[in-house]
Amino acid sequence: MDKKKIYPWYLAAGAFAFYTVLYLLPSIIGIGYSFTDWSSYSDQVNFIGLDNFKEIFSADRNYLDYIRNTFWFTAATTIGKTGLALLLALLLSQNVKGMNFHRSVMYLPSVLSILIVSLVFTSILNPKNGILNEFFRAIGLPFLAKNWLTDPNLAMWSVIGVDVWRGMGYIMTILIVGILSISPTYYEAAAIDGVNGWQKFRYITYPLLKPTLAVTIVLNVLYGLKVFDIVFALTNGGPGRATEVMYTGVFKEFSLGRYGVGTALSTVMFVIMVMTGLFMIKILTGNEVQEQ
Amino acid sequence: MKSYILSLLLSAVMLASLFLTGCTSGGAPEAPANPDAQDTQSATDSASSTGETITIMASQDWVKDPEMELAKKFTEETKIAVDYQIIPSDQYPNLLMTRLNSGECADIFMHQSGKFDIVSLLQIEKNGVDLSGEEWVSRFEDAVKQQVSANGKVYGITIWDQSDSYAYIYNKNLFAQYNLSPPENYEEFKAVCQTLLDNGITPVYECVASGWHHQLNFFDVSAAYDATDDNLVDKLNNNSTTFADNEIFKALLDQMKEVVDAGYWGEYYMSNVYEDLAAEMASGEYAMAVNMMGRIGDILAINPSLGETDFGIFPAPYLNNQIIAETPCGPSKFIYSGSQNQELAKQYIAFLASPENLQFMIDNETSFNSVPFSGLNTTHSDEVKRAIQAYKTGKSTVYQNAVIYLNPQWMEIGTDITSMLMGQITSADVAASIDQRRADQASAAGDDNW
Amino acid sequence: MNIKRIPPFVLFKNIVAWLLSIIMLVPLALIVMTAFKSGQDAVTLSFALPKQWDVSNLTTVIERGRLYRGFLNSFLYAGAGTVMTVMLASMASYMFSRRRTRGSQILYFFLVLGIVLPTNYVALMKVMQVLHLINQRIGIIFLYTATQIPFMVFLIYGFVSRIPISLDEAAVMDGCGPLRLFFSVIFPLLKPVFISAGVLCFLNMWNEFILPLYFLNATDKWPMTLAVYNFFGQFGRQWNLICANVLLTILPVIIVYLLCQKHIVGGLTAGAVKG
* Chains contacting A (3 or more CB pairs within 8 Å): B, C
Q: Same domain, yes or no, for B293 and B429? A: yes
B chain contacts of residue A149, beta-carbon cutoff 8 Å = 209, 271
**Nearest residue of chain B to residue C44 (CA atoms):** B276
Mutual orientation of helices B410-421 and B427-445 as an angle, nearest 10°?
A: 160
Residues contacting residue B325 through CB under 8 Å, at least 6 positions apart: B165, B220, B221, B222, B223, B396, B397, B398
Higher-confidence position of B202 and A114 = B202
B43:C260 CB<8 A: no
3-state helix, strand, coil in chain B (%, to 5): 50, 15, 35
Indicate if B191 and B284 belong to the same structural domain: yes
Which of B124, B440, B449, B450 best probes binding to A when mutated, by most A CB atoms within 10 angstroms? B440
Beta bridge partners of B331: B112
CB nearest to C137's CB, from B17, B106, B298: B17
Q: What is the pTM of this model?
A: 0.84
- Is A46:A36 a contact under the CB 8 Å cutoff? yes
Does residue A271 register a pLDDT over 60?
yes
A6 touching chain C per CB within 8 A = yes
**Per-residue model confidence (pLDDT) at position B173:** 94
Domain carrying residue B126: 46-161+329-385
Task: Give residues with Cβ within 8 angstroms of C141, minimum separation 6.
Answer: B17, C76, C77, C80, C81, C84
Is residue A30 a part of any domain in this protein?
no
| Per-residue pLDDT, C140 | 95
For residues B257 and B303, state if they share a domain: yes
Of B268, B424, B440, the CB nearest to A128: B268
Mean pLDDT value of segment C125-143:
91
Looking at CA atoms only, how far is residue C95 from chain A in angstroms? 6
Check whether residue B320 and residue B339 sit in a common domain. no
Classified as helix, coil or strand, A12 is helix
Q: Which residues of chain C lie closer than 8 angstroms to A9, CB-CB?
A: 95
Question: Which tens digits make up the pLDDT trace of A133-171?
Answer: 888 988 888 888 888 998 888 999 999 999 999 998 888
Q: Provide the pLDDT for residue B356.
A: 95
CA B264/CA B276 separation, integer angstroms: 18
Q: Which domains does chain C have, with CATH numbers?
A: 68-238+255-274 (1.10.3720.10)
CB within 8 Å: B121 and A241? no
What is the number of residues in chain A? 292
Nearest CA to CA, how far is A19 from chain C (Å)? 5
CB contact under 8 A, A15 and C89: yes
Greater confidence (C267 vs C41) lies with C41
Calculate the CA dihedral of residues B52, B56, B61, B63 and round it to 10 degrees: -50
Closest chain C residue to B14, measured at CA: C80
- Whether the per-residue pLDDT at C266 is higher than 70: the answer is no
The answer as to whether A20 is a domain residue is no
CA C33 to chain CA centroid, nearest Å: 25
For the ranges A199-208, C45-54, C229-238, the maximum mean pLDDT occurs at A199-208
Q: Are C235 and C178 in contact (CB under 8 A)?
A: no
Of residues B178 and A37, more confidence is placed in B178
Q: For residue B27, is pLDDT > 80?
A: no
In whole numbers, what is the pLDDT of chain A averaged over residues? 84
- The pLDDT of C207-219, averaged and rounded, is 88
CA distance C106 to C109: 5
A26 within some domain: no
Whether the pLDDT of residue B332 is over 80: the answer is yes
Q: Could you give the ipTM of this predicted complex? A: 0.82
- Tell which wins on pLDDT, B27 or A60: A60
- Partners of A165 on chain C (C-beta within 8 Å) are 23-24
Nearest to B61 among C126, C217, C234 (CB): C234
User: Percentage of chain A with pLDDT > 90?
Assistant: 16
pLDDT per residue as tens digits for the range B205-244: 999 988 899 999 999 899 999 999 989 999 999 999 999 9
d(CA C186, CA A152): 53
Measured distance CA(B358)–CA(B360) in Å, rounded? 5
Angle between helices B186-198 and B247-261 (to 10 degrees): 10
Residue A155, in any domain of the structure: yes
CA distance B139 to chain A (A): 32
Domain count, chain A: 1
What residues of chain B, 162 to 181, have a C-beta less than 8 Å from chain C? none
> What integer best gives the mean pLDDT of chain B?
86
Residues B282 and B354 in one domain: no
CA distances from A92 to A100, A111, B120, B181, B359 (A): 10, 20, 59, 65, 65
Together in a domain, B294 and B417: yes
When pLDDT is averaged across residues C121-137 and rounded to a whole number, the result is 89
Does B347 have pLDDT greater than 70?
A: yes
Verify whether the Cβ–Cβ distance B419 to A240 is below 8 Å: yes
In a domain, A157, yes or no: yes
Q: Are B396 and B326 in contact (CB under 8 A)?
A: yes
Give the whole-number percent of chain B exceeding pLDDT 90: 64
What confidence tens digit (pLDDT) does each residue in B50-62 have? Answer: 578 999 999 888 8
pLDDT higher than threshold 80 for residue C75 = yes
Residues B292 and B376 in one domain: no
CB contact under 8 A, C191 and B9: no
Instruction: Select from B121, B126, B419 the Cβ nearest to the Cβ of A41.
Output: B121
Average pLDDT over every residue of C3-26? 80
- Residue A114, chain B, CB below 8 Å: the answer is no
| A220 neighbourhood in chain C, CB within 8 Å | none
Same domain, B265 and B181: yes
Are the CB atoms for C116 and A273 separated by under 8 Å? yes
**CATH number, position A150:** 1.10.3720.10
Which residues sit opposite C237 in a β-bridge?
C232
Is C114 an 8 Å CB contact of chain A?
yes
Q: Is the pLDDT assigned to residue C267 strictly greater than 50?
A: no
pLDDT score of C156 more than 80:
yes
Q: Which residue has the higher pLDDT, B377 or A196?
A: B377
Q: Cα distance from A183 to chain B (closest Cα, Å)?
A: 25
Is the predicted pLDDT of residue B15 greater than 80, yes or no? no
CB-based contact, C147 to chain A, within 8 Å: yes
Does B23 contact chain C (CB < 8 Å)?
no
How far apart (Å, rounded) are the C-alpha atoms in residues C34 and C48? 9
Interchain CB contacts (distance < 8 Å): B and C: 141
Query: Is residue B131, in this structure, part of any structural domain at all?
Result: yes
State the Cα–Cα distance between residues A162 and B182, nearest whole angstrom: 44
| Residue B98 in this model has a pLDDT that exceeds 80 | yes
What pLDDT is stored for residue A163 in this prediction? 94
pLDDT tens digit sequence for B236-292: 999 999 999 999 999 999 999 999 999 999 999 998 988 889 889 999 999 999 998
Contacts of B101 in chain C (CB under 8 A): 122, 125
The 10s digit of each residue's pLDDT in A75-85 is 999 999 999 99
Domain count along chain B: 2
Q: 3-state DSSP: chain C helix, strand, coil percent, rounded to 5?
A: 75, 0, 20
pLDDT computed for residue B56 by the predictor:
95
B neighbours by CB contacts (3+ pairs under 8 Å):
A, C
- A150 contacts on B by Cβ (under 8 Å): 208-209, 270-271
Whether B450 is in a domain gets the answer no
pLDDT value of residue B47: 40
Highest mean predicted confidence (pLDDT) among A42-56, A211-225, B216-230: B216-230
Given CA atoms A155, A161, A166, A171 in this order, what sign does their dihedral have?
A: positive
B444: nearest CB among A41, A241, A254: A41
C-alpha distances (whole Å) from C172 to each of A3, C83, C90 are 11, 27, 19
* Position B144, amino acid: V
- With CB atoms and an 8 Å threshold, state whether B97 touches A40: yes
Q: Where is pLDDT greater, at B31 or C260?
A: C260
Which residue range is the domain that position A123 belongs to? 36-285
Chain-chain contact of B21 with C217 (C-beta, under 8 angstroms): no
Give residue A160's identity as a one-letter amino acid code. I
DSSP B211: S
Give the residue from chain C lying closest to B279, CA to CA.
C43
A209 against B180, higher pLDDT: B180
Q: Please report whether residue A110 resides in a domain.
A: yes
| pLDDT, position B32 | 36
pLDDT above 80 for C54: no
CA A171 to each of CA A280, B383, C158, C200: distance values in angstroms, whole numbers, following the listed order: 18, 59, 15, 12
Cross-chain Cβ contact B268/A41 below 8 Å: no
Compute the Cα dihedral for C191, C194, C197, C203 and give only its sign.
negative
- Tell me the chain C residues in contact with residue B300 when contact means C-beta distances shorter than 8 Å: none
| Whole-number average pLDDT of chain C | 82
Distance from CA of C156 to the nearest CA of B (A): 18
Same domain as B430, residue B350: no
Chain B residues within an 8 Å CB radius of C69: 42
Does some domain include residue A71? yes
Sign for the CA dihedral angle at C205, C210, C214, C219 comes to positive
CATH code for the domain in which residue B226 is found: 3.40.190.10
Return the pLDDT at C104: 84
Q: B168-186 pLDDT, tens per residue?
A: 999 999 999 999 999 999 9
Judge whether A239 is closer than 8 Å to chain B, CB to CB. Answer: yes
What's the pLDDT score for residue C3?
A: 54
How far B435 CA sits from the closest chain A CA (Å)? Answer: 14
Nearest-by-CA chain A residue for C93 = A12
Give Cα C52 distance to the centre of its chain.
34
Whether residue B181 is found in the same domain as residue B155: no
Residue B39 phi, psi (nearest 5): -55, -45
Rg (chain C; Cα; Å):
23
Q: Do A258 and B440 touch (CB under 8 A)?
A: yes
What does the pLDDT read at residue A285?
61
Share of chain B above pLDDT 70, in %: 89
pLDDT score, position A129: 80
Strand partners, A36: A47
| B84/C219 touch (CB, cutoff 8 Å), yes or no | yes
Question: B273-287 burial string, b = 16+ CB within 10 Å, else e?
Answer: ebbbbbbbbbeeebb
Q: Are strands B166-171 and B149-150 parallel, antiparallel or unpaired?
A: unpaired
Say if A269 is an interface residue toward chain C (CB within 8 Å): yes
The reply to whether B8 falls in a domain is no
Mean pLDDT of C199-219: 88
Angle at B320 between CA B317 and CA B323, to 5 degrees: 65
Residue B18, domain member (yes or no): no
pLDDT > 70? residue A289: no
Which of C2 and B121 is assigned the larger pLDDT? B121
Q: Cα-atom radius of gyration of chain A, to the nearest Å?
A: 23
Concatenated DSSP letters of C203-272: HHHHH--HHHHHH--SGGG--GGGGGGGGB-SS-B-HHHHHHHHHHHHHHHHHHHHHHHHIIIIIHHHHH
Would residue A31 count as lying in a domain? Answer: no
Q: Is the pLDDT of residue B133 over 90?
A: yes
**Yes or no, beta carbons of B271 and A127 under 8 Å apart:** yes
> So what's the pLDDT on residue C88?
93
Residue B148 falls inside a structural domain: yes
Q: Is A104 on the interface with C (CB under 8 A)?
A: yes
Confidence of residue A37 (pLDDT cuts 50, 70, 90): confident
Interface of A with C in 39-58 (CB under 8 A): none
Q: pLDDT digit string (tens) for B387-414?
A: 999 998 888 899 999 999 998 899 999 9
pLDDT of res. B355: 95
Closest CB from A122, A254, A257 relative to B444: A257
3-state helix, strand, coil in chain A (%, to 5): 70, 0, 30
Strand partners, B314: B168
Give me the pLDDT at residue C265, please.
Answer: 57
Q: How far is residue A58 CA from its own chain's centroid?
A: 28
Name the band, by pLDDT with cuts 50, 70 and 90, for residue C98: confident
The percentage of residues in chain C with a pLDDT greater than 90, rounded to a whole number, is: 16
What's C48's DSSP letter? P
Q: Which residues of C touch B95 (CB under 8 A)?
A: 213-214
Q: What is the pLDDT of residue A82?
A: 94
* Residue B193 pLDDT greater than 80, yes or no: yes
- With an 8 Å Cβ cutoff, is A91 touching chain C? yes
What pLDDT does B26 receive?
34
Tell whether C2 lies on the interface with A, counting CB pairs under 8 A: no
Residue A290 pLDDT > 50, yes or no?
no
Which helix H or strand E contains A57, and what residues bound it?
A: helix A51-57
C180/A contact by beta carbon, under 8 A: no
Pairwise CB contact (< 8 Å): B32 & C132: yes
